[in-house]
Amino acid sequence: MMGELKRGIGLSSEFEPHYMPIDGIGEIFNTRSARVTTIIALIRLGYSDGAFEIEEQFLLREICATFEVTESDFTIIENWVRRLIAFEKEARAFM
């Protein structure tokens, strides 16, 4: 998943994730495409254990505010990710 994220947002394959304050992420993820890709990946990560916890949602909403992604867009993206996860689960059931 990390490789997909790096490709999707245009990061070098050598980039190593590290802690950074939220207010610094706008400089790294500086295009709408990079920001939406990051939000998608973080929402998928939030659902990876089966539940998108309230703490995860609050963090994502903070990131969205920094990225200038509206609440409406966040809701649309989250719904899309839930459908994607359901489709992936359905596809695995066929195998």
pLDDT digits (tens, 9 = 90+) for 50-95: 888 898 999 999 999 999 999 999 999 999 999 999 999 999 999 9
Q: Would you give the DSSP letter of residue 22?
A: G
One-letter amino acid at 79 equals: N
Q: How many domains does one find in the chain?
A: 1
36, 69 Cβ separation under 8 angstroms = yes
Q: Which domain holds residue 21?
A: 2-94
**Distance between CA atoms of residues 12 and 48, nearest Å:** 25
**Distance between CA atoms of residues 39 and 70, nearest Å:** 12
One-letter amino acid at 86 equals: A
Report pTM. Answer: 0.74
Percent of the chain with pLDDT over 70: 87
43, 52 Cβ separation under 8 angstroms = yes
